[in-house]
Amino acid sequence: MSEERKGALGFKQDTPAERFFNGLIVENPTLVLMIGMCPTLAVTTSAINGLTMGLATTFVLALSNAVISLLRKVIPDTVRIPSFIVVIASFVTLVQLVMQAYVPKMYEALGVYIPLIVVNCIIFGRAEAYASKNNIIPSFFDGIGMGLGFTCAITVIGLFRELIGGGTMFDVQIFGEGSVVPGPVGYFFSQYQPIRIFIQQAGAFIVLAVLIAIMNQVKFNLEKKGKDTSKFGVGGCCSDVEIKDPHKVKEELLAKEKAALEAKETIKPDFKAADKEPVPVNSKEENK
């Protein structure tokens, strides 16, 4: 029997649990792979915006992954990219119509970023790198994991930006004038002056950078404890590419360079033979 392949967090490769936690933690699109930055930075002015955008993306990602996996043997390779776009655009249109009908204010708040889900590199990247090569069940859970990982990340970014920049949390006043927190703590909170830069473009970069630093620190702490973190950030649009340890790559390059130098030293040219005058081929004929 072949050795069982291990995936994210020690789970068996390509199982629903492995795919779910892979997208949620190990290959989090925002905090690890750092893809899909356009909606991450643009719509996270509040937690509710981030949550809505994330759930819409999760819906499209999970269902498009499932359909593309189901049709992967039917779709010709020459037209796979247009086919993927048609499938993704169909689900995005469905999300648009539902949001326009039931949550029109939220649809107006997110604006053009809802139709732009079609070209979100998270969705297209998972369709190309995973769903088109694997069965429907792991592909579906891969979409859910990646979508919820994206949702959690942008909701937290929106929450911090809204709280620090406006004093609110899901539109409820926590800091600043009108705080709903009672007692002495509420009085202390009411004196808070919001830092408006956090609800502007620069605030998105600041919060994102802090969260990525925290994620890197968690990975570093796991490495110090002897945990295997080689799976972190390996996938995304290039999950079928083998990623080597940079230290091993450096050692291999040094070994090849040393072998090349040794081979060069063993092949020494004979300069004495080169200094001898060549004997003409037709010299005997000339003597005759």
Residue 236 confidence (pLDDT): 47
- Domain residue ranges in the chain: 8-238
pLDDT at 65 over 80: yes
Identify any residues that bridge with 173 across adjacent strands, giving them in sequence order. Answer: 168
Residue 2 confidence (pLDDT): 42
Which has the higher per-residue pLDDT, 190 or 233? 190
Residue 8 pLDDT class (50, 70, 90 cuts): low
pLDDT at 271 over 90: no
Residue 127 confidence (pLDDT): 93
- Nearest-angstrom CA–CA distance, 26 and 188: 39
Q: What is the pLDDT of residues 160-177, one digit of tens each?
A: 999 999 999 998 998 888
pLDDT at 270 over 70: no
Mean pLDDT of the chain: 84
Identify any residues that bridge with 198 across adjacent strands, giving them in sequence order. Answer: none
Residue 6 pLDDT class (50, 70, 90 cuts): confident
Residue 182 confidence (pLDDT): 84
pLDDT at 281 over 90: no
Which has the higher per-residue pLDDT, 9 or 23? 23
Backbone angles phi, psi at 233, to 5 degrees: 75, 15
DSSP string, 79-129: GHHHHHHHHHHHHHHHHHHHHHHH-HHHHHHHGGGTGGGGG-HHHHHHHHH
pLDDT at 123 over 60: yes
In this structure, which long-range contacts are made by residues 176-183, counting pairs with CB atoms below 8 Å and at least 24 apart in sequence?
A: none
Across the range 97-123, mean pLDDT stands at 92
Residue 142 pLDDT class (50, 70, 90 cuts): very high
Which has the higher per-residue pLDDT, 254 or 35? 35
Percent of the chain with pLDDT over 90: 53
Residue 186 confidence (pLDDT): 79
Across the range 184-199, mean pLDDT stands at 86
Sign of CA dihedral 80, 35, 151, 15: positive
The answer to whether 25 touches 56, Cβ cutoff 8 Å, is no
Residue 249 confidence (pLDDT): 63
The answer to whether 207 touches 153, Cβ cutoff 8 Å, is no
Which has the higher per-residue pLDDT, 112 or 267? 112
Ranges 55-59, 238-242, 274-278: which has the least confidence = 238-242
The answer to whether 53 touches 156, Cβ cutoff 8 Å, is no
Q: What is the pTM of this model?
A: 0.78
Backbone angles phi, psi at 195, to 5 degrees: -95, 100
Which has the higher per-residue pLDDT, 279 or 20? 20
Residue 126 confidence (pLDDT): 93
Residue 242 pLDDT class (50, 70, 90 cuts): very low
